[in-house]
Chain A
């Protein structure tokens, strides 16, 4: 199956700093990538949908100026958490759709990035 990687797998930062998380599709081209946040013992909450070459679509309640998404190529999307605060500490997971998979709306998930803001 299609493989999605994320980097870093975990990061600890000080309050007020910015953190960038990368999401890569390793063996396919992903025109659409999705960013999720997951709190402990909670389900995945979609933050935004990222389309290559265009602006991301954010879900209601997600601050677009705080969570900057860039999808500059067909294999890379980045999420930057700006001016991070302790309440931003969470597990961030990206996923990507492979148009060639033959399964409509199937998403392949990355391994996740655990962010801890001190």
Chain B
């Protein structure tokens, strides 16, 4: 079993749809949970950063972490064509400069 599993996709939705992206993990030591967005041929950029369980909202984006189920989600409301990209979940332990473990990524396409 991989440490981080992410739905492989790809995912195609119409503009305005609500998108739900999910990752599961097996390492209970993970404490920090992140979602990155990566456009084609570019480096990843941080979208959401959360510590431990709970919800965090930033504009149209909401990140949820359920440590008891080892499950994290990213919701995108009112999706736009500009949201079309690859989304990667990432997580790390609590040590200083702990390495990030990434999910495989899911490619989202938002149709106008």
Contact = CB atoms under 8 A, between A and B. Distances in A.
A in complex with B: yes
B99 A34 contact: yes
Contacts of A97: 97
Main secondary structure of the interface of B (DSSP, over half): loop
Interface of B: 32, 34, 36, 41-46, 49, 51, 88, 92, 94, 96-100, 102-105, 107
A93 interface: yes
A106 B46 contact: yes
Contacts, number: 55
A46 B88 contact: no
A29 B45 CA distance: 19
Contact of B34 (A32, A34, A43, A106): A106
B43 A43 contact: no
A109 B88 contact: no
Contacts of B97: 31-32, 49, 97, 105
Contact of B102 (A6, A43, A91, A103): A43
Contacts of B32: 104-105
Interface residues on A, range: 20 to 34
Given A46-B100, A104-B32, A105-B97, A110 B41 contact: no
A81 to B, nearest CB: 18
B43 A111 contact: yes
Given A6-B43, A107-B100, 13 more contacts: A1-B46, A32-B97, A43-B103, A44-B102, A91-B41, A104-B51, A106-B46, A107-B46, A109-B44, A109-B45, A110-B43, A112-B41, A112-B42
A106 B100 CA distance: 9
Given A44-B88, A103-B49, A105-B32, A93 B104 contact: no
A111 B51 CA distance: 26
Contacts of A43: 88, 102-105
A110 B34 CA distance: 17
Contacts of A95: 43
